[in-house]
Amino acid sequence: MSVKPLLAAFRDYLSLRDEPVMREWLDGFGWNLSERNLVPKPAAASRHLAAAGDCAGRAEAALLAALSEFSGRLNWMQMYTAEDFGQDFLDDYAHVELIGPEGHFMSEEIAAGLVVYGPGLDYPDHWHVAEEIYIPLTHDGLWSADGAPLAARKAGSFIFHQSNMRHAIRAGSAPLVALWVWRNGDLRQKADY
């Protein structure tokens, strides 16, 4: 079943962002992408989406609502196994590759999608070759880059990680949902930590 309306919401949201890095990455990006017929794969962490809606930013609410609506059709993925950060981590984290080499919409140019973390989830320092943009859709999350202390970043904040810059994330008392984009690296890489 198609998830094109979710791609449309994703594109609509990004079209309103005017950060230079975002514009450099996406101006001229060909959004007319081929959709794969991916089998839906559930993830335990998607149970947090309903509560996440209560702490979404105003500008981010429509995209989060679309994610909730289409969650049951999505191929939820996990970069890690229980041997990495434990089973509790896997029960409270999952991401969707909406666009990318393995995503719902094919691209070798960028990978992009959405990720959900349950309340209090601690995602320790990790890094990868690709450059990365994060935009939290919800308030209350804590973010760290390049060894800096964790700091609260509101919904709609623009977070950019250079290649191989380590970064860490911790959800607050509410679920944390974020948009992510990768470019300029192996888009299939598992992050190091």
- Using CA atoms, how far residue 166 sits from 80, 112, 135, 154, 169, in Å, is 17, 19, 17, 20, 11
Q: Which is nearer to Fe ion, 70 or 94 (CB)?
A: 94
| 97 binds Fe ion, rule: CB under 5 A | no
Distance CA 73, CA 2 (A): 8
Q: Which is nearer to Fe ion, 70 or 103 (CB)?
A: 103
From 111, 74, 114, select the one nearest 93 (Cα to Cα): 114
Distance CA 118, CA 84 (A): 17
Q: Which is nearer to Fe ion, 92 or 132 (CB)?
A: 132
Which range binds Fe ion by CB under 5 A, 27-35, 42-50, 59-67, 125-133?
125-133
φ, ψ for residue 189 (rounded to 5)? -65, 140
User: Interaction with Fe ion in 127-166: which residues (CB under 5 A)?
Assistant: 132
Shortest Cβ contact with Fe ion: which residue?
132
How many residues of this chain interact with Fe ion, rule: CB under 5 A? 1
Q: Are strands 122-126 and 141-145 parallel, antiparallel or unpaired?
A: unpaired
Q: Which is nearer to Fe ion, 66 or 111 (CB)?
A: 111
Q: Which is nearer to Fe ion, 48 or 167 (CB)?
A: 167
Which range binds Fe ion by CB under 5 A, 10-18, 79-87, 114-122, 126-134?
126-134
Q: How far is the CB of 180 from Fe ion (least distance, A)?
A: 7
Tell me the three state secondary structure of residue 118: coil
Tell me the three state secondary structure of residue 45: helix
Q: How far is the CB of 15 from Fe ion (least distance, A)?
A: 23
Q: What is the contact surface with Fe ion in residues (CB under 5 A)? A: 132
